[in-house]
Amino acid sequence: MIILPAIDLKDKTCVRLYKGDFATAYKVADNAVTTAKNFEQAGAMWLHMVDLDGAKNGKPFNDDVIFDVKNNTNLHIEVGGGIRDMKTVDYYLENGISRVILGSAALSAPEFVKEAVKKYGKKIAVGIDAYDGKVAADGWLKTSTVGYIDLAKQMEDIGVEYIIFTDISTDGTLNGPNMNMLDKLNHSVGANIIASGGVSTIKDILGLYELGVYGAIAGKSIYSGTLDLRTAIQASQRISKTNMKNNPGFEDELERYFRKSDLIPAIIQEHATGEVLMLAYMNKESLRKTFETGYTWFYSRSRQELWNKGATSGHVQKVVSIHADCDNDTLLIKVVQTGNACHTGSHSCFFKKLI
């Protein structure tokens, strides 16, 4: 599951609201760039940013702050607030924002959403915010008669793949997400669901994972200290790796290990003895197949193809655990080795002693 720390902007300042009420806005951080860098250092790969003034006025207001964060971090950024025409969608996506969130437009202008999805596909998300199950709009200032699941189904029908759902009554309360509404939504549509509002502790993160949602947005809980971002990210990574087939966020998690290169070195170690057996390289596909099968797959740089260790010799490697180093650019894979690991017939490839 993907954890997305949040930065909400009002008058160029990082703020939080209580149940979406603009009158409750209070400052939570001095500088958006510094805050985003801290999130990145904690292991975040995505950042959720909302232009609250934009949401209220229907056009970007804090876009300079958003681009400042984009230009000073390596985070993928999704942006919401005031995006109500294709010109604004183009503006953000053509200038490096990874995903834009269409909120009020989903309710008032579904044809616009359809146009945006046709042009940008997965870079378009829809934010559905609800009071008592009914969709709110215009920066949560108005409530419609449309049910949140009805709107979600309509958005899925036009090709939307990401839905960010907020039960406004839980937002900023630290009382936990509305699990019942999220569960109903997740079982009603096939789109990736990102939970927003109310996330308070690791327990909430675990609960959301059990629901099978794609991601979770955390804001006030991080700023107030009830949720440690690094711990949440590490926990969600460990959990998701135990059952990747039921984890819709796995592909995005996989990406974090290939941000520097298309290939990542993998050190293979005998689980029982700690002996280092070999060094090989993995690309996304081979790492994915390693998770899927439970046996090691690598990428051959000379043949430029995938290969399954032991497929011809029978000297397979059953995976016990996979660890990443501190920089997420090297893997340590502990295995149960059948037979010898080296093609020379040696148990380990590291048999040439130099000193």
Catalytic residue positions, numbered: 8, 129
Half-sphere exposure of 90 (CA within 13 A, CB side): 6
3-state secondary structure of 128: strand
pTM: 0.76
pLDDT of residue 237: 73
pLDDT in tens, the chain (355 residues): 899 999 999 999 999 877 666 677 778 888 999 999 999 999 999 999 999 999 888 899 999 999 999 999 999 999 999 899 999 999 999 999 999 999 888 888 999 999 999 999 999 999 998 888 888 866 555 677 899 999 999 999 999 999 999 988 776 667 789 999 999 999 999 999 999 988 999 999 989 988 889 999 999 999 999 999 999 998 887 655 545 555 556 777 788 788 889 999 999 999 999 999 999 999 999 999 998 888 999 999 999 999 999 999 999 999 988 998 888 899 999 999 999 999 999 999 999 999 9
| CA distances (Å), origin 325, targets 3, 215, 265, 266, 332 | 20, 24, 11, 10, 8
Distance CA 244, CA 249 (A): 9
Per-residue DSSP letters for 19-72? TTEEEEEEEEES-HHHHHHHHHHTT--EEEEEEHHHHHHTS-SSHHHHHHHHHH
